Amino acid sequence: MEQPITQVQKKTVLSGIQPTSRLTLGNYLGALKNFVAMQEDYDSYYMVADMHAITVRQNASELRKRSIEILALYMACGLDPEKSTLFIQSHVPEHAMLNWLMCCNTYMGELSRMTQFKDKSAKHADNINAGLFTYPVLMACDILLYQANYIPVGADQKQHVELTRDIAERFNKAYGDTFTIPEPFIPKVGARIMSLQDPTSKMSKSDPNPNGYISMLDEPEVIVKKLKRAVTDSEGEITPNPERAGVYNLLSIYSACLGKTIEETAAEFAGENYGTLKTRTADAVVSMLEPIQAEYKRLLSEKDYLGEVIRNGADKARARAVKTVRKAYHKVGFDSYKL
């Protein structure tokens, strides 16, 4: 008698990006490109983290607009709402509902050690609000709500996953097994793209110098200009040396666009000058982003379809999130039968 085939449960991954401005080339090559690949093998939840965005004052209508645009850009990059759960964070109230429980299980000392709080406090000295201090707890809730196994992060975000693990383990010890303990997942493939003007710093959408980053929606001529102005050095030789940050960054961008290794790219440019490297890197970036930009514009014109995706994503996310909140509320003594 044949044994029935059992379906292997996929591990869950979750990630999100704030809708504070347009996404950069670094966001795509370092994260979104990997998200697309991961949706084939994981139960994937990708959110637009609009609740995190309001630690800095936002214009309400602009925040709504950008949230929808980011979700459309997710899809334009290849995230499929049939394969991944795509949703806007504030559309799932369970994020806020779990937050209070987790705040009561997080210590002030833990939050005061978070490096991003120190960085953001320095940048927004006129608005050091409580949310800026406690937002790592909300980030932990984002992860724990969906019982995520893995969190795709860069090395600079590992601290948040470590805090999430500490909070989850503390809650589980106090109240019994409730949350999956997540692990950071740093993809083997995923370029760390640096600023074009300060290649010792990560490319960031918050960079005050617009020549330091390439937006995913920049026009081709803008991309070409920015890459022509990219910082290199005075050595003149193209080699894969990380200590020569400007040249190495251009090689990284070119390699990631074409799916090559840094060494392969450096060999390809042997004997060439920096002008050639910049020109061909610009060509590679434009070729990669053009179809994404075209699909993004198409999706924004399909308002009914986009609205349906947003609603369905929120419903699907809530179906998973409410189970976790119901369980956690019951553990601490709250009535959860109405959830």
Which one from 205, 316, 323, 331 is the annotated catalytic residue? 205
CA neighbor of 150 nearest in space, from 320, 321, 47, 14: 14
**What is the distance, to the nearest Å, from the Cα of residue 142 to the centroid of all Cα atoms in its chain?**
13
- How many other CB atoms sit within 10 Å of the CB of residue 83? 15
Which one from 10, 11, 65, 202 is the annotated catalytic residue? 202
End-to-end Cα separation, the chain, in angstroms = 44
Rg (CA), the chain: 22
- How many other CB atoms sit within 10 Å of the CB of residue 126? 5
Encoded amino acid at 24, one letter: T
202 is catalytic: yes
260 is catalytic: no
Interior/surface letters 26-61, b for 16+ CB within 10 angstroms, e for the rest: bbbbbbbbbbbebbeebbbbbbbbbbbbbbbebeee
Residues with catalytic roles:
120, 202, 205
